């Protein structure tokens, strides 16, 4: 996809955004009556391609408003809570990665 409009802001400022420790969360419904899933999915791709950490939810069957809104608000507030409470990295991550790497190399 071609970088146009607001995606240029992300691309041109990717390093600043990564270094800012900005916490990014957004979600879109697959049935959004305003078609916002297109822009949301594109923004997710731009953030991902620029290695900017974010949480993106593509909510199957959800419209812009409607019955899914309550659960989506809960998910958004859950994200805020996790970020406010300063999430710590998984202590087992490095160990698991090393074991996975060692297992992959030992099988060859």
CA–CA distance, 74 with 42 (Å, rounded to integer): 24
pTM, whole model, 2 decimals?
0.74
**Which tops the pLDDT comparison, 97 or 24?**
24
CA–CA distance, 79 with 75 (Å, rounded to integer): 6
Q: Is the pLDDT of residue 82 over 60?
A: yes
71-78 CB contacts, 8 Å cutoff, 24+ apart: 72/27, 72/29, 75/27, 76/25, 76/27
Over the stretch 27-39, which tens digit does the pLDDT of each residue have?
A: 999 999 999 999 9
pLDDT of residue 5: 72
């Amino acid at each position: 996809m071609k970088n146009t409009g607001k995606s240029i802001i992300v691309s041109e400022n990717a390093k600043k955004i990564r270094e800012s420790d900005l916490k990014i969360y957004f979600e879109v419904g697959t049935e959004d009556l305003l078609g916002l899933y297109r822009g949301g999915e594109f923004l997710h791709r731009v953030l991902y391609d620029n290695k900017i950490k974010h949480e993106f939810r593509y909510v199957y069957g959800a419209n812009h408003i409607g019955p899914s809104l309550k659960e989506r608000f809960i998910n958004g507030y859950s994200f805020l809570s996790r970020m406010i409470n300063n999430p710590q990295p998984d202590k087992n991550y490095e160990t698991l990665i090393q074991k996975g790497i060692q297992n992959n190399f030992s099988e060859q």
